[in-house]
Amino acid sequence: MKKYTRQRLILDLIQDNEIHTQEELSDLLEKSGVRATQATISRDIKELRISKVQTRDGEYHYAIIDTVHDSLNERLDKIFKSAVLTVKHNNDMVIVKTISHTATVCATSITNAKIDNISGIIAGNDTIFIAVEDKDKLDITVNDIKSIIR
């Protein structure tokens, strides 16, 4: 697994869970299919500027203090806004057309938005195919994706 993907997962895990130790983080990574050594996790925590903060209960857990996570999403959204040409559906799936060589980055932005009804995304060079869970909600899903542009 690439470093960027692993670090992206670490940020998501810390955002979605109250993680107290590197061992807990390692267990969650492993459950997500990522095997990483303690040294790698420690390096990732340092590079991502993740800190331990005290809760009201007096316990400590990892938190994203720096704006690394937000600034990364902001940059991806900025690329998304300037690279997406069309967002529509064909009654089966959502199809997003982008300028050449930007579909993968745009697909990451869609993934980070955690939009309901999306069950899978495949990105090529300039096209993103999005499988949906409920075809009756295709229009809503298209509008949700378009909202990233606004």
Residue-wise pLDDT tens digits, 66-113: 555 556 777 888 899 999 999 999 999 999 999 999 999 999 999 988
Here the CATH number for the domain that contains residue 56 is: 1.10.10.10
Last residue of a domain, one of 30, 45, 66: 66
Average pLDDT of the segment spanning 20-32: 95
15 and 56 share one domain: yes
In percent, the amount of the chain with pLDDT more than 90 equals: 71
Q: Quote the number of domains for the chain.
A: 2
CB 148 within 8 A of CB 142: no
61 and 75 share one domain: no
137 and 82 share one domain: yes
121 and 105 share one domain: yes
Q: Which domain holds residue 111?
A: 69-149
Q: Which two tokens stand for residue 64?
A: 């994203």
Is the model's pLDDT at 65 over the cut of 90?
no
Q: For tokens 């937000």, what's the residue?
A: 70
Last residue of a domain, one of 22, 47, 66: 66
CA–CA distance, 77 with 81 (Å, rounded to integer) = 6
pLDDT of residue 71: 65
Q: Is the pTM of this model over 0.85?
A: no
Is the model's pLDDT at 20 over the cut of 60?
yes
Q: Which of 12-21, 25-34, 60-69 has the lowest mean pLDDT?
A: 60-69
CB 68 within 8 A of CB 10: no
Here the CATH number for the domain that contains residue 90 is: 3.30.1360.40
